[in-house]
Structure 1
Amino acid sequence: MSTAPARPRPTTDRRQRILDAAGPVFGEHGYERASVDAIARAAQVSKPTIYSHFGSKEQLFQVWVGAVARQVSDDAVRAVHGLDVSPKKWRAALVTAATDLVEAWHTDCAASLARTINAEVGRDPQIYAVVREAAHDPVIEALAGRLAMLGNAGLLRVPDPVLAAKQLIALSRAELDDISEFGTKPTSAPVVRRVVKAGVETFLRAYEA
């Protein structure tokens, strides 16, 4: 009895395989020493296939960085979207959402991404724009929307929700670089929550109606 030949993987699957294979190669060797040949072997595709999907090693690197940045920011965006803006719960919910957001940006994956950005942004300043678009802007946009809702409810004074969102994040993370020695030391959940709560309280002294 004959068996039908297996269908080839869709193009999107092949593209994702390349990105999945690129991560460990870029992570271990950095951009300069990472070779397209090594990525092709790991992805089990030909070198021309990589170029047909991404055009160049530089473009592959940028797409990979953007994908990792989106992965890091997904949990942060979900945390912000879960912020309860009801009059009785919004204050506690703001601390919880800010804590979840900060924790999402202090995972091993986020720390690895930060090291990659710091190492490569001098060579390619476009990397910063890629990360900003993929990770920073969606979080700011989501948080600004929630703060605007609290403003519309008369609970906060937020003439500029985007600026308020940036300041809330900055205050929530203010002490963590010192405590974690710029992400090189683990920080316990109670310490993170204490730091975030202090930052949120400072924010509220400026913005609470």
Structure 2
Amino acid sequence: MALRDRKREILDAAAPIFGEEGYERASIDAIATRAGVSKPTVYSHFGGKEQLFRESVADSAQQQNEASLSAISQLDCSGDDWREGLYRLGLALADFSLSPCSVFLDRLITAEIGRDPEIFDMVQNRAVRPMHEALAGRLAMLGNAGRLQVADPVKAARQFVVLVNAELPGLTALGTLRITAETFETSVRDGVDTFLRAYAH
């Protein structure tokens, strides 16, 4: 088996165990058993439990982020319906942020970041920044087309993501309550409207 495949199997085995048990109670033995590898194999790939946890969280965030990157790539910056495209993108990004996996991952990071601050940087580098950069590229295209005034596309991208999600933590009690589709859409559209008031020509 290729080394990459084995590392992938270990990460796939580690994610649910860290999720179910938390960092402290999760054991390398359990992860190795679920992955079908020996305990020394886990150590040879990740060095120890702490690095495996960091890699597992960052990997899970990266996988969650793939749907966001796909939605961003579909934003049409050349057509006349670019505003509606931004609304659709805002709805998609907000919907991904409320997925059970995303909500659970956020809680896991929040619970462990005090113990291991490096988790934040790993997640930012592997998942959050690539998403912001992809969105910044699309917003820059809208700027070049004369649709938006964007002096700093990366900052604008960060603000777009924050604004479309701004009301959702309160409305959903941090992802624990269901809200109606109408409430969800209104909240997200309000966020996009705020963004457009700041950036649109």
Give the TM interval when normalised to the shorter protein. over 0.9
Match of 2:83 in 1: 91
How many pairs align?
201
Separation (CA, whole Å) in 1 of partners of 2:12 and 2:160: 34
Asked if structure 2 preserves the Cα contact closer than 8 Å seen for 1:83 and 1:94, the reply is yes
- The letter for the 2-side match of 1:10 is A
Shift of 1:185: 1.5
Q: CA offsets per residue over residues 114-173 of structure 1, 9 Å max, x none?
A: 111011000000001111112210111011111111111111111111111111111111
1:33 maps to a residue whose letter is R
Moved over 3 A (4+): 187-190
- In the alignment, the residues of structure 2 paired with residue 149 and residue 37 of structure 1 have an alpha-carbon distance, to the nearest angstrom, of 50
Query: How far apart, CA to CA, are the structure 2 residues paired with 1:136 and 1:186?
Result: 25
Q: Which residue of 2 aligns with 1:126?
A: 118
**1:70 maps to amino acid:** Q
Q: Is the CA contact (8 Å cut-off) linking 1:69 and 1:135 kept in structure 2?
A: yes
Q: CA deviation at 1:188?
A: 4.0
Query: Is 1:135 matched with 2:134?
Result: no
2:36 pairs with 1:44: yes
Matched position secondary structure for 1:51: helix
2:64 matches 1:72:
yes
- Is contact 1:173-1:199 (8 Å) kept? yes
SS at match of 2:174: coil
TM normalised by structure 1 equals: 0.92
Partners of 1:17 and 1:82 lie apart in 2 by: 31
Distance in 1, matches of 2:126 and 2:63, equals 9
* Cα shift at 1:186: 2.7
Match for 2:144 among 152, 155, 180? 152
How many angstroms does 1:19 deviate by? 1.1
Alpha-carbon deviation of 1:10?
2.3
Task: Give me the identity figure in percent.
Answer: 50
Give the corresponding residue for 1:114. 106
Q: Distance in 2 between matches of 1:188 and 1:73?
A: 24
CA contact (8 A) 1:176 1:182 kept: yes
Q: Distance in 2 between matches of 1:16 and 1:138?
A: 21
Distance 2:133 2:105 in 1: 21
Counterpart-to-counterpart distance in 2, 1:46 and 1:133: 30
Unaligned residue ranges in structure 2 (runs of 5+): none
**CA deviation profile, 1:98-122 (whole Å, cap 9, x unmatched):** 1111111211110111111011000
Structure 1: runs of 5 or more not aligned: 1-8
**Greater C-alpha radius of gyration:** 1
Q: Find the counterpart in structure 1 of residue 54 from structure 2.
A: 62
User: RMSD value over aligned CA atoms?
Assistant: 1.2
Contact 1:144–1:165 under 8 Å retained in 2: yes
